[in-house]
Chain A
Amino acid sequence: DAGVTQSPTHLIKTRGQQVTLRCSPISGHKSVSWYQQVLGQGPQFIFQYYEKEERGRGNFPDRFSARQFPNYSSELNVNALLLGDSALYLCASSLRDTSNYGYTFGSGTRLTVV
Chain B
Amino acid sequence: AQKITQTQPGMFVQEKEAVTLDCTYDTSDQSYGLFWYKQPSSGEMIFLIYQGSYDEQNATEGRYSLNFQKARKSANLVISASQLGDSAMYFCAMREGRIEYGGSQGNLIFGKGTKLSVKP
Spell out A's residues near B (CB within 8 Å). Answer: 31, 33, 35, 40-45, 48, 50, 55-56, 58, 88, 90, 92, 94, 97-108, 110
CA distance A16 to B100 in the complex (A): 38
User: Can you give 29 contacting A-B residue pairs, CB < 8 Å?
Assistant: A31-B105, A33-B107, A40-B112, A41-B113, A42-B91, A42-B111, A42-B113, A45-B96, A45-B108, A45-B109, A50-B104, A50-B105, A55-B103, A56-B104, A56-B107, A58-B107, A88-B43, A90-B45, A97-B103, A97-B105, A98-B100, A99-B105, A100-B95, A100-B99, A101-B50, A104-B47, A105-B44, A105-B45, A105-B47
Residues of B in contact, count (CB < 8 Å): 32
CA distance A41 to B93 in the complex (A): 12
Q: Which of B16-53 contact A (CB under 8 A)?
A: 33, 35, 37, 42-47, 50, 52
